[in-house]
């Protein structure tokens, strides 16, 4: 039992490292961009490089853990994550930081998939259920506190602190893991080659698509970027073809034949794409446009998080009373209403606009997350529950990765068009136009001394943000419609 507590501590803390890092760094981005005098393209890659590695390699990492030992992969991931965090903290340029984030992502992708599998190895019966519940609750709590603590740290200790704090935590994970995790924890039934071709194809495909949209968002979609995007789509098509023929496929195509399983993952793609998009762009609105501190930007997410925590227990129970379809249509519809508020409210300050919008989105997600997880588990046999969970987790990360790229491009196009329109309306002098044009690539963080020039850029960024969140509202509605057409009408059985 004592070893079990060490194991649980290691997996909770390790998972929390990966979860919290994404949210904390998002709060730090406006300050980071300002300090490095960076453009929006390189700033966006600070998040996208990390998420790309996590999204593309997570399933492969799970397979490696099954084959070579989950403890070995878990420990290696923790070490890589710590080294990447140290390099991030000592970064002297955006290029250095992005490269360090890739290393961090490699560590995270080895660390995260092993956590739940290690709990399944280390506990059995009722103790396993209790351990998984503890793991879920405490990692969710870490995700709750991450943005708030991150904002305070950025304001009082500087942005580098959000990376350096990972190091003592990673050391604790290593101590707990070495002490509490058994050495022999691999799948003895695993045989045949690992699906390296599938992993390479999905990585190339996602990387090409994300690069094309991120680069196009701050410039224009010329023939080169269109060709890169199409090459990315072709690589993903080849990935799907490869999965139907691989001996040990990463995504088990047979599961997607089931209507409920396919539908719940398509829902996840749409819904978690909205989350990734809004929580990337919102800190720029709060910090760069509205002038709030990073602390306030972190606290701004609390209504969203509290709503999820309060409603999740209630919504999980409601699945067995009213049915999955009802909950999975209602929840995304409320999320869509929250994004619509972001899009149509004329103000963007906290109380009149951000509070009600984030609260509505949180209520919608609170009505959705538990039913979505329950329905996912009910859509497959008990033997495939672990695989189904891994696939759904990977899809949620892919959703955020693609949404930031695509919605970023939408925001960038709208921003540039709005800047041109507003400069014409204000009849700026040639020198003023030149100053604004020289700072376009920085988007909301444009360094402009003239109040008129600065007001134009900030208003244009808000125009782009509103169009992007309108796109999020449509994605949330698409998620609800997907549930309406693919999920069972009758309540699932408890």
- pLDDT of 100 higher than 80: yes
- Indicate the average pLDDT of the chain: 90
User: Residues 478, 367: one domain?
Assistant: yes
pLDDT digits (tens, 9 = 90+) for 154-165: 999 999 999 999
Q: Judge whether residue 455 has pLDDT over 90.
A: yes
Q: Are residues 136 and 169 in the same domain?
A: yes
Q: How many domains does the chain have?
A: 3
Same domain, residue pair 376 and 450: yes
Q: Which residue has the higher pLDDT, 392 or 121?
A: 392
For residues 308 and 226, membership in a common domain is answered with: no
Residue 190 lies in a domain: no
pLDDT above 90 covers a percentage of the chain that reads 64
In this structure, are 151 and 300 located in the same domain?
no
Q: Which of 126, 159, 182 is the last residue of a domain?
A: 182
CATH code, domain carrying 134: 1.20.1250.20
Are 355 and 488 members of one domain?
yes
Q: Does 187 map to a domain?
A: no
Q: Which pLDDT value is given to residue 190?
A: 64
Total residue count of the chain as it appears in this document = 494
Range name among 141-145, 211-215, 453-457 with the lowest pLDDT average: 141-145
- Asked if the structure places residue 374 within a domain, the reply is yes
Judge whether residue 492 has pLDDT over 70: no
Domain that holds residue 164: 1-182
pLDDT for residue 350 is more than 50: yes
Residue 21's pLDDT band, with cuts at 50, 70 and 90, is: confident
Pick from 69-73, 137-141, 212-216, 280-284: least confident? 137-141
Same domain, 131 and 221: no
Are the beta carbons of 201 and 235 closer than 8 angstroms? yes
Question: Does residue 407 surpass a pLDDT of 70?
Answer: yes
Q: Same domain, yes or no, for 95 and 152?
A: yes
315 shares a domain with 329: yes
Structural domain contains residue 188:
no
Residue with tokens 């490095």: 36
User: Are 266 and 202 part of one and the same domain?
Assistant: no
11 and 96: one domain? yes
What is residue 1's predicted lDDT score, i.e. its pLDDT? 47
What is the pLDDT averaged over residues 257-277? Answer: 94
Per-residue pLDDT band for 494 (boundaries 50, 70, 90) equals: very low
- Claim to verify: residue 98 and residue 213 sit in the same structural domain: no
């Amino acid at each position: 039992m004592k070893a079990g507590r060490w194991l649980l501590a290691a997996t909770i803390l390790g998972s929390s490292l990966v979860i919290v890092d994404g949210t904390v760094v998002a709060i730090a981005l406006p300050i980071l961009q300002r300090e490095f005098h960076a453009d929006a393209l390189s700033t966006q890659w600070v998040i996208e490089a990390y998420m790309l590695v996590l999204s593309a390699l997570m399933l492969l990492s799970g397979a490696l853990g099954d084959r070579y030992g989950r403890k070995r992969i878990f420990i290696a991931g923790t070490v890589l994550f710590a080294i990447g965090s140290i390099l991030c903290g000592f970064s002297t340029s955006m290029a250095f930081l992005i490269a360090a984030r890739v290393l961090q992502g490699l560590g995270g992708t080895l660390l995260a998939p092993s956590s739940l599998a290690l709990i399944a190895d280390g506990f059995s019966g009722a103790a396993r259920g209790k351990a998984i519940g503890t793991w879920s609750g405490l990692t969710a709590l870490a995700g709750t506190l991450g943005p708030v603590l991150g904002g305070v740290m950025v304001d009082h200790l500087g942005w580098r602190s959000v990376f350096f704090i990972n190091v003592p935590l990673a050391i604790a994970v290593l101590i707990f893991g070495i002490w509490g995790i058994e050495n022999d924890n691999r799948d003895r039934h695993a045989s045949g080659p690992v699906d390296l071709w599938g992993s390479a194809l999905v990585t190339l495909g996602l990387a090409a698509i994300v690069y094309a949209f991120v680069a196009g968002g701050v410039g224009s979609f010329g023939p080169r970027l269109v060709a890169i995007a199409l090459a990315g789509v072709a690589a993903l098509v080849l990935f799907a073809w490869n999965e139907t023929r691989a001996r040990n496929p990463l995504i088990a195509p047979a599961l997607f034949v089931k209507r409920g399983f396919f539908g719940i993952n398509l829902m996840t793609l749409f819904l978690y794409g909205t989350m990734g998009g809004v929580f990337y762009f919102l800190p720029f609105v709060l910090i760069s446009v509205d002038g709030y501190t990073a602390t306030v930007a972190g606290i701004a997410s609390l209504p969203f998080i509290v709503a999820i925590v309060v409603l999740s227990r209630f919504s999980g129970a409601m699945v067995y009373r009213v049915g999955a379809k009802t909950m999975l249509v209602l929840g995304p519809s409320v999320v869509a209403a929250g994004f619509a508020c972001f899009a149509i409210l004329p103000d963007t300050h906290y109380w009149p606009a951000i509070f009600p919008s984030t609260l509505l989105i949180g209520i919608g997600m609170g009505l959705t997350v538990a039913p979505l997880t329950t329905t996912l588990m009910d859509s497959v046999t008990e033997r495939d529950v672990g695989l189904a969970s891994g696939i759904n987790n990977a899809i949620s990360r892919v959703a955020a990765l693609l949404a930031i790229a695509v919605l970023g491009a939408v925001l960038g196009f709208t921003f540039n068009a709005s800047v041109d329109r507003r400069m014409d309306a204000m009849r700026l002098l040639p020198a003023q136009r030149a100053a604004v044009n020289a700072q376009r690539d920085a988007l909301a963080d444009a360094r402009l001394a003239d109040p008129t020039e600065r007001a134009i850029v900030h208003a244009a960024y808000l125009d782009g943000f509103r169009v992007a969140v309108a796109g999020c509202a449509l994605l949330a509605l698409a998620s609800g419609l997907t549930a309406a057409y693919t999920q069972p009408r009758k309540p699932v059985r408890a």
